[in-house]
């Protein structure tokens, strides 16, 4: 396994010059990404073309010399091969049909391995192209987050409202979470077999949930996924990003399930050091909109984070992904500051 600074940090080593990668580091803010995306013809074509998907996965490494690449894919590829039709509407995001809130769907794992084979080939290409000091991160959406899209058929501003589906149709909801948990375990294990060095679970819709609901349908499934991965691949770090979970992030930290936890923009770094860093490595926290602004505000915020986490296992990252209008030159300046 690669001995990259990223892997060492998420496994608990304090590294003086903090490793760095960024969520959505490959994306619309990069002109080279837009050129490759145009060549592919559509977002899904890009996801399922291993050569082009590998190209965009590696573009940020070539441009910024980051410590880790993250697989270019999408968290909604699983439902696409479990019985729903996936499409992306320009300017409106993903659509899944039929929405489970309107029509029950018989979910199946039969098509998963064959359907996701191009993703595994993308991983193999990337791992061959990356040097040993660069990690390759695989990922999946956590069950609750993926379920919100499947239930609603699209992303909405307050997916926490879909917990009414769980209350009104507990049998269907529990079965859905169970199916997603099982599929996610297999998907991530296959990513590891193909060559990723760490995996990250994205719980993008953890905010606004009652504490017991979050424990049952976010933390519980994430722990079971992490433990299943660790049982077969004990040396592969598992990272979880429970965006917006508030004080309950500490429950993730003390659970013993995860090697590292991603911090959202809402997380106070001082609180994170005091309450979380004793239990897990930490990652992230910088507001991506500060990278849009650049200049002194971005530098001051980044320097504060670097100072607070100086003596802790930490990976520099954002509190969410880059937005499309991020100037690439600001990203370059940020990476330079971190390296210094």
Span 250-275, pLDDT tens digits: 999 999 999 999 999 999 999 999 99
Burial bucket for residue 273 (CB in 10 Å: 0-12, 13-18, 19+): middle
124 as an active site residue: the answer is no
224 as an active site residue: the answer is no
What is d(CA 276, CA 251) in angstroms, rounded to the nearest whole number?
Answer: 9
> How is 145-183 classified by DSSP, letter by letter?
HHHHHHHHSB--S-GGGGHHHHHH-HHHHHHHHHHHHHH
41-45, 92-96, 214-218, 298-302: least confident range: 92-96
154 as an active site residue: the answer is no
pLDDT at 284 over 60: yes
**Residue 324 — pLDDT band, cuts 50, 70, 90?**
very high
102 as an active site residue: the answer is no
* Mean of pLDDT over the chain: 95
Domains of the chain: 5-339 (3.20.20.210)
The pLDDT of residue 152 is 93
Angle formed by the axes of helices 220-232 and 143-152, nearest 10°:
130
The pLDDT of residue 156 is 82
The pLDDT of residue 40 is 97
Confidence (pTM) = 0.96
What is d(CA 302, CA 318) in angstroms, rounded to the nearest whole number?
Answer: 10
Catalytic residue among 8, 29, 33, 37: 37
Per-residue pLDDT of 10-60, as tens digits, reads 999 999 999 999 999 999 999 999 999 999 999 999 999 999 999 999 999
74 as an active site residue: the answer is yes
Catalytic residue among 63, 74, 124, 224: 74
Average pLDDT over residues 292-302: 98
Catalytic residue among 24, 34, 95, 215: 24
pLDDT at 90 over 80: no
Average pLDDT over residues 285-291: 98
Catalytic residue among 64, 149, 217, 314: 149
116-130, 158-172, 204-218, 316-330: least confident range: 158-172
pLDDT at 298 over 60: yes
Average pLDDT over residues 59-88: 96
Nearest to 71 by CA among 24, 28, 1, 15: 24
Per-residue pLDDT of 191-232, as tens digits, reads 999 999 999 999 999 999 999 999 999 999 999 999 999 999
Catalytic residue among 28, 34, 95, 154: 28
């Amino acid at each position: 396994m690669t001995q990259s600074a990223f892997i060492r940090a998420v496994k608990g080593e304090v590294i003086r010059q903090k490793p760095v990668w960024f969520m959505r580091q490959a994306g619309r803010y990069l002109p080279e990404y837009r050129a490759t995306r145009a060549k592919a013809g559509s977002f899904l074509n890009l996801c399922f073309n291993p050569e082009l998907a590998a190209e965009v996965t590696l573009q940020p490494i070539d441009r910024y010399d980051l410590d880790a690449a993250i697989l270019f894919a999408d968290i909604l590829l699983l439902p696409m091969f479990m019985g729903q039709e996936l499409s992306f509407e320009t300017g409106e995001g993903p659509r899944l049909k039929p929405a489970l809130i309107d029509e029950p769907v018989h979910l199946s794992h039969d098509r998963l391995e064959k359907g996701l084979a191009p993703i595994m080939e993308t991983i193999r290409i990337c791992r061959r192209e990356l040097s040993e000091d660069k990690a390759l991160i695989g990922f999946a959406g956590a069950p609750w987050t993926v379920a919100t899209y499947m239930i609603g058929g699209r992303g909405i501003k307050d997916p926490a409202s879909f917990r009414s589906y769980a209350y009104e149709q507990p049998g269907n909801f529990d079965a859905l979470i169970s199916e997603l948990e099982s599929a996610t375990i297999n998907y991530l294990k296959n990513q590891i077999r193909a060559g990723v060095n760490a995996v990250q679970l994205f719980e993008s819709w953890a905010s606004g949930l009652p504490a017991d609901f979050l424990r049952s349908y976010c933390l519980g499934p994430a722990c079971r996924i992490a433990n299943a991965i660790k049982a077969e691949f004990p040396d592969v770090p598992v990272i979880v990003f429970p965006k917006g979970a508030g004080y309950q992030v500490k429950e993730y930290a003390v659970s013993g399930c995860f090697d590292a936890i991603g911090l959202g923009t809402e997380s106070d770094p001082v609180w994170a050091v005091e309450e979380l860093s004793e239990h897990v490595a930490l990652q992230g926290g910088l507001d991506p909109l500060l990278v849009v602004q650049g200049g002194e505000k971005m530098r001051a915020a980044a320097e504060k984070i670097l100072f607070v986490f100086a003596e802790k296992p930490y990976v520099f990252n954002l509190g969410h992904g880059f937005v499309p209008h991020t100037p690439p030159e600001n990203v370059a300046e940020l990476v330079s500051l971190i390296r210094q």
